[in-house]
Amino acid sequence: MPMPWLPPRERRRWGNMVKIIINGAEHDAEEGKRLLLVFNEKGIRVPHLCFHHALTPAAACRLCVVEVKEKDQPIRTRLSCAIKVAKGMEITTESAMVHQMRNTAIGNLLKLAPHSEAIHKIGRDFGLTTGIIPDGCIRCRLCIRVCSEIIGAKALKMVKMEGRSYVSPSDKGECIGCLTCSNVCPTKAIRYEDDGNIRTVMIRDEIVGRHTLERCQICGKLYSTTKFLEHVRQVDADLPEEKEDHRHCPTCSKLYYRKKLKLTAPKLATLYGNKPVA
């Protein structure tokens, strides 16, 4: 791997080439060079998050820990971003102790940034224990139950991924964009976004449904998805006593059907100036 740009103050500290041992193999490296730079140069993989070659090390993430044996010294664990090459140094980049220390380090990092994909990825790449990325879902299944038992769309299900259960879009049912799941979700893990006349329902980065919104025929406001209106029409077909007209938004419906006000659809439309409301 080509050596990245390094500040002159860093290069000035380097001495002659010396022999060191990395994972049992002999290597040449400049005396005084940071071990992590040597690893990067030689393609030896060691996890690290807080090192930048142009800056002084902060030794903050503690992921780059390795075992080092220096002349007449016992084996010690050291941070490879901070420690510099010395003649005859013997380094082990993977051992039970190193693995344990990296697990502790990643656990501490995840306490600070539990949602960080970068930390979870480095954990996966190096076989460290990271647990799952929190998705805000408490697995109460209210969304699944309401979608199946009340709405009848069966758009959500539980799936197993890497030994954990997740709420996911179902392949049996179909989302109709009614937002009942989002409204009933106690943690708001199911989100939605209305962008112009398009509604998207999501959990994590998975799309549960994407729908076209319809305008209220009285006030012109976007108020419901086409699929939801179709669904209601189908349900109403089996219920002849239901005579509601679902082409109107809830507000206009309330006004329209309040007989005391004697407001008819044309009257209401005049009230709104016949202009669609955005």
Q: Is the dihedral of CA 105, 108, 113, 116 positive or negative?
A: positive
Comparison of 56 and 264: residue with beta carbon closer to ligand FES: 56
Comparison of 109 and 190: residue with beta carbon closer to ligand SF4: 190
Instruction: Give the alpha-carbon dihedral of 271, 275, 277, 278, to 10 degrees.
Output: -170
Residues 79-98 that bind ligand FES (CB under 6 A): 79, 81
- 142 touches ligand SF4 (CB under 6 A): yes
Residues 203-232 that bind ligand SF4 (CB under 6 A): 203
Q: Beta strands of the chain (E only): which ranges?
A: 17-22, 25-30, 65-69, 76-79, 90-92, 156-161, 164-169, 190-195, 198-203, 206-215, 222-225
Instruction: Give the alpha-carbon dihedral of 233, 239, 244, 250, to 10 degrees.
Output: -70
DSSP letter assigned to residue 261: G
Exactly one of 139, 233, 258, 267 binds ligand SF4 (CB under 6 A); that residue is: 139
138 contacts which partner out of ligand SF4, ligand FES, none, CB within 5 to 8 A by kind?
A: ligand SF4
CB of 139 to ligand SF4, least distance (A): 5
185 contacts which partner out of ligand FES, ligand SF4, none, CB within 5 to 8 A by kind?
A: ligand SF4
Residue numbers at the binding site for ligand SF4 (CB under 6 A): 137-143, 167, 184-187, 189-190, 203
